[in-house]
Amino acid sequence: AQKITQTQPGMFVQEKEAVTLDCTYDTSDQSYGLFWYKQPSSGEMIFLIYQGSYDEQNATEGRYSLNFQKARKSANLVISASQLGDSAMYFCAMRERIQGAQKLVFGQGTRLTINP
């Protein structure tokens, strides 16, 4: 079974600094997908970025980039020029394929706090 590990329960960063949120994964599948979601205090799950296991380049979406190191089985999220609105919980997730379904397996999350 797939497993996602996020080792940073909480992080505090100064506004405008870059921040890296760690994520390691464990899978025996050759084809898989990795996701990052943001969950602000309001509770909704906001999709940020996706990386496929066969993608040769690291995914980027605006200020978000995914540092994908396949050999190390890590998929860290990098947020450049952090803003106060980035304060939230961040979840790393992996796609697990079961009978054609593609359910997501989530890590425990990292609570990011941006200080002014």
In the complex, what is the shortest distance from the CB of residue 52 to other proteins, in angstroms, rounded to a whole number? 8
Q: Are strands 60-61 and 64-69 parallel, antiparallel or unpaired?
A: antiparallel
Q: Are strands 33-39 and 46-52 parallel, antiparallel or unpaired?
A: antiparallel
Stretch that binds other proteins, among 11-19, 60-68, 78-86, 98-106 (CB under 8 A): 98-106
Centre a 10 Å sphere on the Cβ of residue 59 and count the other Cβ atoms it contains: 20
Give the per-residue contact string, 48-87, with other proteins (x = CB under 8 A; - = no): --x-------------------------------------
Count CA atoms closer than 13 A to 27's CA, side-chain side: 23
Distance CA 6, CA 94 (A): 12
In the complex, what is the shortest distance from the CB of residue 115 to other proteins, in angstroms, rounded to a whole number? 21
Q: Which residues bind other proteins (CB under 8 A)?
A: 4, 33, 35, 37, 43-45, 47, 50, 91, 93, 95, 98-109
